[in-house]
Amino acid sequence: MKNLIVILLLSCTLSAFGQIVDKEAEVAHKWSISLPYHVPDEIIFGWGKRTSTQMVELHVKRNLDNKNIIGVKFATWRLFQPMGITWWDGVVDKIESGTEYYDGYLRETGIGITYQRMLWKGLFATVEVLPQIQTYTDLDGKKIKNGFKVYNSLHLGYHFSIGKKKRFFVEPQVHCNQWMFDNNSPEGFKEMDDKYGNVFLFEPNIYFGVNF
């Protein structure tokens, strides 16, 4: 089942790159750059905290036409507890109580591909596939071992253009996330991960971007 999910995600995303465009479509802006709203806050205010994800995420996208958008995603983050702790598991309470923290950190970094389809007016759906290199460390930052993971996500959101030339935009959205091949975690980390699944549903987010 997991292999089928990845094959479907890859097929949907790669199909956008395989399109042959006989004539360049007329679009107001060909390129865009965007990032999640919480990245600047993490960098400026939260980087040194025990619960900081130290997240940096950047999207560079190319508008093929007014409906189809392909892109490249770079992301790196640091996990201090299992990613699979869901809302109904009490993820916020567990962050505050510290009961499910790793005895160290997990840094995940990767470059992936994205495909965004405009559905109706500003409504869109996006699929993202992000292979990641994992680095497990202790609390002092000493490396324990490496791993590998494929992080996949489906998004549903709305694109709001800002300004007279619609150069800036905001995209509130909801993600459904799934990951696989995450099976090389060291002892201690694995015990925590095994308590939860490899799916996180209904993650809210807001992206800010600029067209050019």
Per-residue pLDDT tens over the stretch 59-93: 999 999 999 999 999 999 999 999 999 999 999 99
CA distances from 54 to 27, 98, 199 (A): 35, 18, 21
User: Residue 19: is its pLDDT beyond 80?
Assistant: no
Structural class in CATH, domain 2-11+27-211: mainly beta
User: Residue 23: is its pLDDT beyond 50?
Assistant: no
Q: H-type helices in 83-124, by residue range?
A: 91-97
pTM: 0.85
User: Residue 46: is its pLDDT beyond 90?
Assistant: no
Per-residue pLDDT tens over the stretch 145-203: 999 999 999 999 999 999 888 999 999 999 999 999 987 899 999 999 999 999 999 99
DSSP 30: S
Per-residue pLDDT tens over the stretch 87-135: 999 999 999 999 999 999 999 999 999 999 999 999 999 999 999 999 9
| Cβ-Cβ contacts under 8 Å for 7 (sequence gap 6 or more) | none
41 pLDDT band, cuts 50/70/90, is confident
